[in-house]
């Protein structure tokens, strides 16, 4: 699976504590294998974010992404639940 990053994702990622950055990178690696999607709690979002999906980094932090194709995704945002606002 090909993963690309929006500039906004990169900016938000750099603001995270180092430990959380490491956890996020581990989760992104897990995400590349569809078998792990249930463990990561991948789900489609609703409301104004209805075109996007999300998966868990920690209990309180999420990564928002969109499918560009079956083999390509774009990571859009990372952060706590405020990332949905």
Query: pLDDT-derived band of residue 81, with 50, 70 and 90 as boundaries?
Result: confident
Query: Quick one: pLDDT at residue 77?
Result: 96
Query: pLDDT-derived band of residue 34, with 50, 70 and 90 as boundaries?
Result: confident
Q: Domain range holding 75?
A: 2-84
Query: Quick one: pLDDT at residue 85?
Result: 79
Percent of the chain past pLDDT 70, that is, above it, reads 100
Query: Quick one: pLDDT at residue 4?
Result: 97
Average pLDDT over residues 34-41: 90
Query: Quick one: pLDDT at residue 70?
Result: 86
| Separation CA 84–CA 53 (nearest Å) | 11
- The answer to whether 83 and 77 are in contact (CB under 8 A) is yes
In degrees and rounded to multiples of 5, residue 59 shows phi and psi of -55, -35
What is the number of domains present in the chain?
A: 1
Assign residue 25 the CATH number of its domain.
3.30.2310.20
pLDDT of residue 51 exceeding 90, the answer is yes
């Amino acid at each position: 699976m090909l993963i690309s990053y929006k500039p906004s994702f990169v900016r938000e990622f750099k603001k995270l504590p180092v430990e959380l950055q490491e956890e996020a990178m581990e989760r992104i690696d897990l995400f590349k294998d569809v078998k792990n999607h249930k463990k990561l709690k991948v789900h489609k979002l609703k409301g104004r974010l209805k075109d996007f999906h999300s998966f868990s980094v920690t209990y309180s932090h999420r990564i928002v992404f969109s499918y560009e194709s079956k083999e390509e995704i774009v990571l859009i945002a990372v952060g706590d639940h405020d990332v949905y606002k």
